[in-house]
A and B are shown apart, each in its own frame.
Chain A
């Protein structure tokens, strides 16, 4: 049994949030560079601007995008860890609160009805999963809502099968068009239930952009969906071009014999995701 004070989790969330808000992941940078080399005209201008923006954000420690997002925190908690100190959710919120204040990040969380801003970007969107062992693994994903708004959940029938899954992914990106800041990155949940399927899609967004699922039949869906999305020719910012998506990442889970849930979580080109193990 390992004892861990939640103040260490708070400090970790702070570090991850500060870095994520001002930095694209290396995989995202590489995919943007690659996209830039294939485009011309307005799409090329957009990608050049984004790469220059990334450089400025790093040099001046400014948020890459002003939508510093909802603070999504995925926390894998080893079952042999005994947490002490402030309650876990409060510790996570404390890290978010301090990072968003110190980093000059935008506070984007509000009451859904009154629309009154909570003023400090809390509460964080915290998901805790129990794992084996004595470690705590924290993933921080600042999720902007221009892209989140374009996400969709499909409750397909088993008869719709693989073709239905691919169509749902492509349709979501087609309907989103220029609105979610393409080129997008697409997280897909396949299976589970109404709620867990959407979480799978979000988790897929934390996978390294451009990586493939280890199961070949899932990886084949990722490849086929990406090819069909890029054939839409929406392009960077919707200005037309070869690259509409930087990648498609699918995660799967067993589902009910009567159903085939598919969740498509759209991420903009600004992939910000940081991870640390305590």
Chain B
């Protein structure tokens, strides 16, 4: 399986096609429903975001607490479709890409094409395996949201599939 280091170059992105399996290494940031709402509130108020979108890959996920001796607890992806309300605007503002599970809307896929970005699907339900790929975990923002906060993760060989590529192709039929 092809190994990729984040952030991806434009050359990398344009070489990825829907359905291809990859192993991702580098930095990703968790954010799910509540964290996205907070990011949008900051944008609407014209305030700075706690992350630099251009280098941020958002992982739609909320980890379990880390057991002793591990950087992170179980941490598989959550359903990406719930973030369709947020993804197109973030992509247009420069977001580097997303990782989640399940297909996203036409609007999100068009935003991926427009901005030459890729959405990866991790394996939903593979919580322990995905959690073990996280080598370092750090709280970045919204700590009061507990598992829904934004965490910075250093991942190594995190397994994923190219779900929606930069050409508008999708691994899903829907």
Contacts and interface: CB of A to CB of B under 8 A. Distances in A.
Interface of A: 41-42, 45-46, 49-50, 52-53, 56-57, 60-68, 104-108, 115, 117, 119, 146, 149, 177-181, 233-234, 237-240, 268-270
Nearest to A270: B125
Nearest to A22: B128
Given A57-B128, A64-B74, A107-B147, A238 B103 contact: yes
Interface string B59-96: 00111111100000111101101000000000000000
Interface residues on B, range: 35 or more
A41 B73 CA distance: 29
Given A53-B127, A104-B65, A105-B64, A181 B101 contact: yes
A61 B127 CA distance: 12
B158 to A, nearest CB: 11
Given A42-B19, A61-B67, A104-B73, 10 more contacts: A64-B128, A66-B63, A66-B127, A105-B65, A106-B63, A106-B73, A237-B121, A237-B123, A238-B171, A268-B125
A265 to B, nearest CB: 16
B163 to A, nearest CB: 9
A49 B130 CA distance: 10
Nearest to A105: B64
Most chain A CB within a 10 A radius of its CB, from B75, B103, B174: B174
Contacts of B65: 104-106
Nearest to A175: B174
A89 B65 CA distance: 26
B124 A237 contact: yes
B7 interface: no
The A interface, classified by DSSP as helix, strand, loop or mixed, is: loop
Interface of B: 19, 21, 34, 61-67, 73-76, 78-79, 81, 101-103, 121, 123-132, 145-148, 159, 161, 171-174
B146 A146 contact: no
A146 B172 CA distance: 17
B76 A66 contact: yes
Contacts of B173: 233-234, 238, 240
Contacts of A106: 62-65, 73-74, 147
Contacts of A64: 74, 125, 127-128
Contacts of A104: 64-67, 73-74
B44 to A, nearest CB: 18
A75 to B, nearest CB: 26
A239 B63 contact: no
A53 B78 contact: no
Contacts of B123: 45-46, 49-50, 53, 237
